[in-house]
Amino acid sequence: MIYVDVTKTGRARHRSGLTRVTSRLLQEFGGKAAPVAWPFSNPAGRKDWLLTAELFSEDERPGFTAFLAGGRGHAAAIFHDAIPLKHPHITWPQSVARHPVYMKLLARFDRVWAVSAASRDELLGFWRWQGVDQHPPVEVLPLGADFDGAPRKTNAVGSNVRPHAVPVLLCVGIIEPRKNQLFLLEVCEQLWRSGCRFELHVVGRVNPHFGAPIVKRLKAAAKIHAGLRFHAAADDRMLAGLFARAHATVFPTLAEGCGLPLLESLWGGVPCVCSDLPVLRENADAGGCVPVAANDHGAWVAALRRVLTDDSLHAELVHQATMRPLPTWHDTAATLSRAFQ
């Protein structure tokens, strides 16, 4: 049996990358898995596995270190990123304090998977820095692009949009400095002032520590620019509808562990204009994406203008997005299931 840790994600009311990982894996595991929450009430046998994609510490889960050392079954973890260590000034203080402890605890697991090669290297580098000599192997686990389980888009994107409709740019992610929505707004404002016609839809829950000033700026800008829409919350059905309308997605993020919105955009046949980060290039370089130097205002203005106005470029990006191989959550679950046998 695979016991999937839902201590936090089971109570979450919002959709995030972390909750997506846990919920989709549970769906794809089917009868082979059961959700559990700390303190784990289901005693694992020697052949059973506990799988967690959550963040934790001994303070948050008293007795968890002893549980890992108890030898009852096996424990596996999915590691996302070291962002709280690399960008503490724009990360929740609680996360900054917890993350070093969390990353050291990962060394006590039997198996660890990282969501990208970049994240794997960060974890291994952290262990070397901390002098952790005994640790499990760390492999890369490709995450699924099919966020809601819907069939992949294989025909031309936007076929359900009226001809000559105003193109839609879609930005998905938590509202916080790391996701760089204010930079994107500045870029779009320059394009609007120059006469470029398009809508920008910004979708994401609001970071309670850092998000309020960003939301204030977005709402003020929406009173000036009729093409700006802010959606503080969106379920999968609404998000799927926005993907169906989108001309392209925009992902100006400053740091990621994997970058699920990029993969999910490609699954819908929607090109993605994204920051030129090594972690995003792991998925962007195979096609359907336009990587742009992070925080380079002029480069972003030029890239978005081309994607919005160059029909041949857009058609080629759509073709690449719909034809390239993409991982599914079924693939992700199958990889883990094989390792747990």
Return the SS3 of 273.
Answer: strand
Query: Where residue 87 sits, what CATH number does that domain have?
Result: 3.40.50.2000
233 lies in the same domain as 201 = yes
Is residue 123 situated within a structural domain?
A: yes
Binned average pLDDT, 10 residues per bin, the chain of 341 residues: 92 75 95 93 75 95 91 90 95 93 97 98 98 97 92 62 75 96 98 98 94 97 96 86 95 96 96 98 98 98 98 97 96 97 89
Q: What angle do CA 2, 6, 241 make, to 5 degrees?
A: 105
112 lies in the same domain as 21 = yes
Split into its structural domains, the chain has a count of: 2
Q: What is the pLDDT of residue 162?
A: 40
176 lies in the same domain as 316 = yes
Is residue 16 situated within a structural domain?
A: yes
Q: What is the spatial distance between Cα 189 and Cα 301, in angstroms, rounded to a whole number?
A: 10
**Alpha-carbon dihedral sign for residues 89, 95, 97, 99:** negative
Is residue 156 situated within a structural domain?
A: no
253 lies in the same domain as 335 = no
Q: What is the pLDDT of residue 44?
A: 61
Is residue 160 situated within a structural domain?
A: no
65 lies in the same domain as 105 = yes
54 lies in the same domain as 127 = yes
Is residue 115 situated within a structural domain?
A: yes
108 lies in the same domain as 187 = no
Q: Residue 112: what are its φ and ψ, rounded to 5°? A: -135, 135
Please give the structure tokens belonging to residue 26. Answer: 């549970």
Is residue 258 situated within a structural domain?
A: yes
137 lies in the same domain as 178 = no
Reported pTM: 0.93
88 lies in the same domain as 235 = no
Q: Which domain holds residue 296?
A: 168-323
42 lies in the same domain as 72 = yes
292 lies in the same domain as 336 = no
Place of tokens 């993605």: 272
Q: What is the pLDDT of residue 148?
A: 82
173 lies in the same domain as 315 = yes
